Amino acid sequence: MIDAQQIQATMARYVELVDAGDIDGILALYSQDAVVEDPVGQVPLAGLDAIERFYRDGLGTMKVSATLTGPVRATLNGCGAMPFRVDMEWGGQPCSLHVIDVMEFGADGKIRSMKAFWSEVNVTARGAV
């Protein structure tokens, strides 16, 4: 079983990789049969191929920065949650998206599922011109 410190480190690393735009690095964190629901309420993406398309078609097409906005919370049974902010352009305007990701990990330390909690109400304008 993955320990709480490894969950914290992996989830913090995920934010660093999003910040760097390192899609290959992000994909390396996921198991082959992982499921991503981003945002929660969308049809879940199952399997690494679908997850790769999601990141390449989204993150891979824009300039973003990502920052943890609080500590990663980890359980003793392979789950974690974290708040973070993604700065980007939304509709041509600089904005910040405030997200909470919840992840479940396998015994191998890979992400088995990721659920991103956010909607348009979590988007705030930055430096409106």
User: Could you list the active site residues?
Assistant: 14, 38
Any long-range contacts for 6-10 (C-beta under 8 Å, 24+ apart)? 6/105, 6/109, 7/72, 7/74, 7/75, 7/78, 7/79, 7/80, 7/103, 7/105, 8/71, 8/72, 8/74, 8/80, 10/80, 10/103, 10/105, 10/109, 10/111
